[in-house]
Chain A
């Protein structure tokens, strides 16, 4: 049952977005998020919607995959929307007892909702078109400058990629331990939330022990293959910019300028 979980959410397709260098996509997403919080008028919304629609079409990923991420934040959206709607002071347009809807509240609520929804869709496009490995590689390379500030960039990237490799193994192991404990009469289903949490102990303890053992084995195997940190390491698949990546940078830059112009002029 646990085996059905899909890892990451990469959607394989043959689109220009899939082929882009992960660093470009990371940079683009960053600019997109900044733009989202820059605009505060209808023209800004329209402009970003236009850009978003273009990127969605380019990615060749079905739109339904992108709005999947929305399901997990729907409660947050409603709560934040309601608070903004009723609790913003300003010009009153309707009232229900002690609750008042104001013009400013309406504006804040809708702006915030649009921002959150666009944020989820935009970041989903990045994770849907980039494999977890590319993403790690891209992060390592883009953040390389932080090494000077003693941030262990290579080590963090290595940990991320090892975690990605071991998630399916640990899931399988969880499944095995669960079945073994159920065969001995453990009960993972009944009871209230606290009882359920307590029933997880016989699952988690062996899982942790085994994870530590695996980590020790893996560390030895890495050392045996001359792993010695990031220094002096070469890459089998180094990231290299090609002309389409340069063009994409230019496009992102132009789009960002338009956003700023729209913000200043209108």
Chain B
């Protein structure tokens, strides 16, 4: 069994009037099948309203499936008994850095998760040290979160999740409110956790550039998974991406336009380096 296994997953939001009668049903996630292996770096791409955040909230049991099944690490998410276990297995980082930091000192915030699951005091200190060092925020342990930059706050939030020693971290648009420097900081930290600690990462985003380094990509539109594959496979198909209101990374777009106007380039160029090499190869032949 895969680490995360979703089958025919459906989630419906109900809009009700004052008398609690359902006036409107919005299917945010519609018949999604998804398999994720442990240790992978997965990206879920999608435009606003594509259902990607709704899907992410299922992985942490903040929402439960309206129909279909979801198993996280072999546990059924529809079974209430598993809620706390799954939340411990799959931690979640949210979009707004201010609204997910609970304590007024960095180290106490990181300790919040372990405190909730009843970790003994000595071990809390060890875990806090380990996770703050893993995201490079150990020097700020006694600071107030209010004085940190957005990127730093987001790294504290990631440390807070890490301290619960999850097997998987779900990040719901963690960089949407950050400046370019902060975005790089956070992504670097996440990639490092994936490589060094083997944590499964599920990154929800609408920035194409952030997807490039991942192992596998799911593209969502209107509640459906419309494309899936490695970043190279996904970005080879520029036409389909544009149909789903998504752009491709600048370099890929440039290579695509060059190819369209007759330059003989391979499909799915992702980095500046690759484009350079392809052009050089052309030049030599």
Contact = CB atoms under 8 A, between A and B. Distances in A.
Interface stretch (B116-124, B219-227, B248-256, B275-283): B116-124
Interface in A12-46: none
A211 to B, nearest CB: 11
A218 B111 CA distance: 16
A266 B16 CA distance: 73
Interface SS of chain B: helix
B148 interface: no
**Interface size of A as a range:** 20 to 34
A18 B160 CA distance: 29
B118 to A, nearest CB: 5
Nearest to B92: A224
B128 interface: yes
Given A228-B116, A236-B108, A236-B125, A218 B102 contact: yes
B108 A226 contact: no
Interface residues of B, number: 38
A148 interface: no
Interface stretch (A76-84, A159-167, A193-201): A159-167
A266 to B, nearest CB: 48
B94 A217 contact: yes
Given A133-B105, A168-B146, A223 B119 contact: no
A228 B105 CA distance: 21
A71 interface: no
Interface in A187-242: 214, 217-218, 220-228, 232-238
A225 B164 CA distance: 8
7 contacts: A132-B104, A133-B105, A133-B108, A225-B102, A225-B164, A236-B107, A236-B128
Interface of A: 132-133, 161-162, 164-165, 168-169, 214, 217-218, 220-228, 232-238
